[in-house]
Amino acid sequence: MTEISAAALRGAVDLSSLRNRPASAQPAAGAPAPPAGEARDVVVDVTDQSFGEILELSRSVPVVVDLWAEWCGPCKQLSPIIEKVTREQRGRVVLAKVDVDANPQVAQAFRAQSIPMVVALIGGQPVPMFTGAVPEEQVREVFARLLEVAAQNGVTGSVPFGDGEGDDPAEAEPAPMPPLHAEAFEAIEAGDYARAIAAYEKALAENPRDDDAKAGLGQVRLLHRVQGLDLQQVRAAAAAAPGDVDAQFQVADLDLAGGHVDDAFGRLLDLFSDADPEQRTRIRERLVELFELIGPTDPRVASARTRLTSLLF
């Protein structure tokens, strides 16, 4: 996955089994230390026993979890890049490295079927980042999305940072956020999604190449559509009217917001196959919007695009 989606914060992965796991008698090597105001490395090794601390830390600071193993060649390519980009954030992001061979319970909780697998934690909730080795430029793009989504969800803290290499305090200041992006974030925090949408649309009108605004707009549009919806009522209405496009759109939005990406795509593709030409246009446009929200390189998007193509021709 090459984009972080705020919608994914509803939690597609259950980490409750790790949240209250008792810690070992001795602190694990690299486990997060109690807050003491002292600078430290932001890359830590985490175990099954210490992972609960990372979950709690993610309530104030975004955490990136790197699931790796010594035998994994792609991991050896990706991990140094992630470590480098994490340190460049200078305490605004923490990287938790998990050896899946030594810590199978964490790997199982994340349903890691292949590695390298990288997942973000924001407020204790998992958000997919990517699976497999990716280039440094793509890692930087995903980290930028991560910080945006963390800000949208009020996770804007940092940890004291020190890498022992002569830190320059001037470098610690993040680049100022573009005014329209700042306006959108302020509106999101206030729950005013309509104002956030307007700000992102204005940013795109000024700069159609503003990928951050484009990603933010897709995310906020989804949040706006699902705001106030009752899942049980929406599902009942859709079941009672299987051909009602708007009713099916609402269920698909809630599925996507809850992390059930395949279910959302499958519902809309089934709807598309039986729809008339006018309805097909609406459904295809909504599918394309959701594809962009999840990310064009996500395998679930690739599979859904393939099926859509077959239905079109």
- Phi-psi sector, 166: left (phi>0), alpha (psi -120 to 50), beta: left
Q: Is the dihedral of CA 30, 31, 37, 43 positive or negative?
A: positive
Cα 95 to Cα 142: distance, rounded to the nearest angstrom: 14
In the annotation, is 72 catalytic?
Answer: yes
Angle at 264 between CA 16 and CA 301, to 5 degrees: 95
Do 7 and 222 meet the contact criterion of CB atoms below 8 Å apart?
yes
Indicate which residue of 57, 72, 197, 287 is catalytic.
Answer: 72
In the annotation, is 75 catalytic?
Answer: yes
Q: What residues does 98 pair with on adjacent strands?
A: 67
Do 203 and 178 meet the contact criterion of CB atoms below 8 Å apart?
yes
> CB-based contacts of 311: which residues, under 8 Å, 6+ apart?
269, 272, 273
Cα 17 to Cα 185: distance, rounded to the nearest angstrom: 33
Q: Are strands 125-131 and 43-45 parallel, antiparallel or unpaired?
A: unpaired
DSSP H/E element including 148: helix 136-152
Q: DSSP class of residue 61?
A: S
Do 157 and 60 meet the contact criterion of CB atoms below 8 Å apart?
yes
φ, ψ dihedrals at 96, nearest 5° = -105, 115
Q: In terms of DSSP H, where are the helices of 12-114?
A: 16-19, 51-57, 73-88, 104-109
DSSP H/E element including 265: helix 261-273
Indicate which residue of 6, 28, 75, 220 is catalytic.
Answer: 75
Instruction: Say which residue the tokens 């729950």 belong to.
Output: 191
Positions marked catalytic? 72, 75
